[in-house]
Chain A
């Protein structure tokens, strides 16, 4: 615990603690609808933070992160539907598969000098490849989708992730908190410093003795492995998987919106970004429903406008200036 608290000013620690306390108490305060919104917020916070490891820490822009969501979701869901294997064991299978996928993408890109925007295009290509592949794969029911059996349970089944929103809420809250701590530790580790060096100036990092290929691979693999939990959660929360949706480029873009808006590379950015974005989107949706307007696609337009505004006006994201106001640092480290 002391190691975790190291590097956090008393003020940061206090704010963080307060936030966590509020989040833990939430299910007792708010209604089920708002709880579901919070679940989605935390899901994006988690996925965004996982993506942030690759981009914010190591500077590699991935626009195909949906591939890890989809792979993990399908692995866990298939094991559950066919063999009755619980999601936690399914996760144990999904993690190495996602890490291996990340390793392949990373190896192909880094060995052959594919960087920057071309790396992003490569990640999109892989995700699309997976989407079309799964869409045509009879084993997982192709485009008709995979459905998880849902019954009314008398009590929550944590082992099989069957239950009411409160259970899912605490699961995603715990996961997000753990990921936050992991990222904090990673940033303060030797590998974390090397990632920052690579992000800042890869050639200078090499001249300082850093094996950039190896550390970029670590970043990609760790990011992929961590994202796998989000995929499993997605599958068991929504209880259905369609290749068209889970591997879609929209999922990949949704993942990056939180960190980009909150602040890429910062520890707290993805979480703040998820709150702001999803919170506002839900408010927009509620307003539209109340007014009787039904516009599919409006939320996406809203996301696009937010992204535009942030990229144009707040290139470092919303968190750094806010952090300065709160007096808690908010630098890229």
Chain B
């Protein structure tokens, strides 16, 4: 196959990978701070995707315009979830928390199925079939905008954690739970905020994804797993790692889909997961666990 086909697919994969990275960032933030393995991550994203799709079909609102409002809705949802449902489980054993999230995931995805039916929905924006050409490179407009939005959102997130006091407080919480309490940080509120932020990330990523893929109620689990693969590959506890993992997975997925068969591309993500778990369990940028 000619080189430019590979190049175009690779670039498309990288752009998609930026969105994956944002999705995984949400998971990483939640796990790094609240220490909950959010099995309902993909389902939260599906909620955001459906809001975007419905807003588009009812009011012709471009998903990218709805980005901030939907992220805000997901923030509120995540905050409420942590405060109301998950917080009582903080002292329970790991697998109990995990099963709680599994239960939530089942309820959400099937509730969406009841509400919207199993058919796929897509967002056909005005620019859905546009593309930009730079030399031999042809880039889908949708993917370009989605990728750009992802970069902006991610940059804002990083700025928040580095520069704002609240962001630093959350990082302190992640680093040292007891120490954070000792210096007077309201850990419960910070947990809720963090879950909200994580949910907002995954909601934003979902909105961007509506430009790239179709929306169905049951796609949650595969994206939850993808997010886990990315976070584990990039490195637990490392935000840049989640981004790097996203890019890597987006790229390999796209190239694998091209080289072998589109339906096999998910298999590569899992193969990577197994390899990472076996040979470099801390991930590419993660710190080695003692």
Chain A in direct contact with chain B (Cβ < 8 angstroms)? yes
Give chain A's interface residues, CB within 8 Å of chain B: 61, 63, 108-109, 112-114, 116-118, 120-122, 124-126, 128-129, 132-133, 135-136, 249, 253, 260, 295-298, 300-301, 303-305, 307-308, 311-312, 315
Checking B98, B109, B217, B221 against A117 with a beta-carbon cut-off of 8 angstroms, the contacting residue is B98
Checking B106, B232, B278 against A300 with a beta-carbon cut-off of 8 angstroms, the contacting residue is B106
Q: In the complex, what residues of B have CB within 8 A of residue A129's CB? A: 267, 270-271
Taken together as a complex, chains A and B put the C-alpha atoms of A307 and B97 apart, in Å, by 12
Query: Does B106 contact A304, Cβ atoms closer than 8 Å?
Result: yes
Query: Does B114 contact A315, Cβ atoms closer than 8 Å?
Result: no
Please count the residue pairs between chain A and chain B whose beta carbons lie under 8 angstroms apart in the complex.
108
Q: How many residues of B contact A (CB 8 A)?
A: 42
A113, A136, A308: residue with the most chain B Cβ atoms closer than 10 Å:
A308
Closest partner residue, chain B, to A306 (CB atom): B103
Closest partner residue, chain B, to A301 (CB atom): B110
23 residue pairs of the A-B complex, CB under 8 angstroms, read A108-B274, A112-B279, A114-B278, A117-B37, A117-B94, A120-B98, A122-B277, A125-B273, A129-B267, A136-B264, A249-B221, A297-B111, A297-B113, A300-B109, A300-B110, A301-B106, A301-B107, A301-B114, A304-B105, A305-B103, A307-B102, A308-B100, A308-B104
Taken together as a complex, chains A and B put the C-alpha atoms of A124 and B232 apart, in Å, by 14
Checking B107, B267, B274, B281 against A305 with a beta-carbon cut-off of 8 angstroms, the contacting residue is B107
Grouping DSSP codes into helix (H, G, I), strand (E, B) and loop, the B interface class, with mixed when no group exceeds half, is helix
Query: Does A108 contact B278, Cβ atoms closer than 8 Å?
Result: yes
Closest partner residue, chain A, to B267 (CB atom): A132
Closest partner residue, chain A, to B289 (CB atom): A113
Q: In the complex, what residues of B have CB within 8 A of residue A311's CB? A: 96, 99-100, 103
Q: In the complex, what residues of A have CB within 8 A of residue B273's CB? A: 121-122, 125
Q: In the complex, what residues of A have CB within 8 A of residue B270's CB? A: 125-126, 128-129, 132
Q: In the complex, what residues of B have CB within 8 A of residue A295's CB? A: 114
Query: Does B106 contact A253, Cβ atoms closer than 8 Å?
Result: yes
* B130-171 with Cβ < 8 A to chain A: none
Interface 1/0s, chain B 258-280, versus A by CB < 8 A?
00010110110011011001110
Taken together as a complex, chains A and B put the C-alpha atoms of A67 and B227 apart, in Å, by 21
Nearest CB in chain A: distance from B244 CB, A: 19
Query: Does A117 contact B95, Cβ atoms closer than 8 Å?
Result: yes
Q: In the complex, what residues of A have CB within 8 A of residue B114's CB? A: 295-298, 301
Taken together as a complex, chains A and B put the C-alpha atoms of A254 and B69 apart, in Å, by 36
Q: In the complex, what residues of B have CB within 8 A of residue A296's CB? A: 113-114, 118
Query: Does B106 contact A112, Cβ atoms closer than 8 Å?
Result: no
Q: In the complex, what residues of A have CB within 8 A of residue B7's CB? A: none
Query: Does A304 contact B263, Cβ atoms closer than 8 Å?
Result: no
Other CB < 8 Å A-B pairs besides A118-B281, A128-B222, A136-B263, 7 of them?
A121-B225, A121-B273, A122-B274, A128-B266, A296-B114, A307-B106, A308-B100
Closest partner residue, chain A, to B98 (CB atom): A117
* B234-290 with Cβ < 8 A to chain A: 261, 263-264, 266-267, 270-271, 273-274, 277-279, 281
A124-B102 contact, Cβ under 8 Å, with A129-B271, A136-B264, A296-B118: no
Nearest CB in chain B: distance from A193 CB, A: 22
A116, A260, A297: residue with the most chain B Cβ atoms closer than 10 Å:
A297
* B83-129 with Cβ < 8 A to chain A: 88-89, 92, 94-96, 98-100, 102-107, 109-111, 113-114, 118
Taken together as a complex, chains A and B put the C-alpha atoms of A57 and B113 apart, in Å, by 36
Checking A61, A113, A124, A304 against B110 with a beta-carbon cut-off of 8 angstroms, the contacting residue is A304
Taken together as a complex, chains A and B put the C-alpha atoms of A249 and B218 apart, in Å, by 11
Nearest CB in chain A: distance from B31 CB, A: 10
CB of B223 within 8 A of chain A? no
Nearest CB in chain B: distance from A330 CB, A: 19
Q: In the complex, what residues of B have CB within 8 A of residue A126's CB? A: 270, 274
Query: Does B95 contact A113, Cβ atoms closer than 8 Å?
Result: no
* B193-210 with Cβ < 8 A to chain A: none
Q: In the complex, what residues of B have CB within 8 A of residue A312's CB? A: 88-89, 100
Closest partner residue, chain B, to A119 (CB atom): B277
A125, A303, A305, A312: residue with the most chain B Cβ atoms closer than 10 Å:
A125
Taken together as a complex, chains A and B put the C-alpha atoms of A249 and B263 apart, in Å, by 18
Nearest CB in chain B: distance from A169 CB, A: 29
Query: Does A301 contact B267, Cβ atoms closer than 8 Å?
Result: no
Q: In the complex, what residues of B have CB within 8 A of residue A301's CB? A: 106-107, 110-111, 114
Closest partner residue, chain A, to B228 (CB atom): A121
Taken together as a complex, chains A and B put the C-alpha atoms of A164 and B251 apart, in Å, by 52
Q: In the complex, what residues of A have CB within 8 A of residue B105's CB? A: 304
Query: Does B95 contact A132, Cβ atoms closer than 8 Å?
Result: no
Checking B89, B100, B110, B221 against A297 with a beta-carbon cut-off of 8 angstroms, the contacting residue is B110
Closest partner residue, chain B, to A309 (CB atom): B103
Taken together as a complex, chains A and B put the C-alpha atoms of A126 and B270 apart, in Å, by 8
Query: Does B264 contact A132, Cβ atoms closer than 8 Å?
Result: yes
A128-B107 contact, Cβ under 8 Å, with A117-B94, A135-B263, A295-B114: no
Taken together as a complex, chains A and B put the C-alpha atoms of A69 and B4 apart, in Å, by 43
Checking A132, A253, A260 against B266 with a beta-carbon cut-off of 8 angstroms, the contacting residue is A132
Query: Does A128 contact B225, Cβ atoms closer than 8 Å?
Result: yes
Nearest CB in chain B: distance from A125 CB, A: 4
Taken together as a complex, chains A and B put the C-alpha atoms of A311 and B94 apart, in Å, by 12
Taken together as a complex, chains A and B put the C-alpha atoms of A108 and B99 apart, in Å, by 24
Taken together as a complex, chains A and B put the C-alpha atoms of A51 and B64 apart, in Å, by 45
Query: Does A308 contact B107, Cβ atoms closer than 8 Å?
Result: yes
Closest partner residue, chain A, to B88 (CB atom): A312
Taken together as a complex, chains A and B put the C-alpha atoms of A39 and B275 apart, in Å, by 40
Nearest CB in chain A: distance from B283 CB, A: 12
Checking A260, A304, A315 against B107 with a beta-carbon cut-off of 8 angstroms, the contacting residue is A304
